[in-house]
Amino acid sequence: MAEAPVAEVGVFGGSGFYRFLDDVTEVTVETPHGPTSAPVAIGRVGERRVAFIPRHGAHHELPPHLLPYRANVWALHALGVTNVFGPCASGSLQPHVAPGSFVVPDQLVDRTSGRADTFFDGPTVHHVAFADPYDHDLRQVALAACRAEGVEVHDGGTVVVVQGPRFSTRAESRWYGGQGWEVINMTQHPEAVLCREAGLRYAAIALITDFDAGLEGSGVPAVTQEEVFAFFEANVDTVRRVLFRALAAPLPTGRLEAGPGF
């Protein structure tokens, strides 16, 4: 691990974001878990150094169930990052959470399977506390950035993480919404828990791109990949503005307690 931080804050997100950082350099970080989704882009927002990794690769070539989550998180830790923002496109499970709004979730339900979702496969065993999946203080920064940009934002909410790459059936979607959960996504797990194991503070910023197919009484058609991508592209400037404001704000200091070896 670097003796001095190469970057103080990290971002997992879409491939368009890093082009707007100043003086970007790309670095390849070797990890015990293989290569990252793409080389890490290092740039500045004001005086703050930011490390950016496009989750799905530079050309969106990696599906959500095959992302190298452990490598991505390990690389940010190795670069000295303390705080991590995870902007993500997500669907709504509730009528009051409309497309175009943002959710800064405070809870997570994992419905994935077969993903490498821990750094502790043995012989070292570590049981991470995960009752509150998202860092409270970093969430406040994300919420303040959304409000300052004048976007509709929901403070808190549960994101259910599905395996993908397929979207949910109407029956699955109705069940998720019936539990009272607000957001559906494919990448928040294990990204959030791996950050916690590594002692990194993590907050998600979910842009709602669509109503999920099972929303009762909505009459929504089945969501398609093309519609989600188009909606996100149409709103990417808003996402960038929110992120840049959050990245320039005062951030929590000090990492969380990490598992053995970090």
Q: Known catalytic residues?
A: 210, 212
The closest alpha carbon to 198, from 66, 30, 56, 69, belongs to: 69
Do 95 and 174 meet the contact criterion of CB atoms below 8 Å apart?
no
Looking only at the bridges linking them, the beta strands covering 9-13 and 153-155 are unpaired
What's phi and psi for 23, nearest 5 deg? 50, 55
Structure tokens, 36: 């990252």
DSSP H helical ranges for 79-187: 136-148, 170-178
C-alpha–C-alpha distance, residues 54 and 208, integer Å: 19
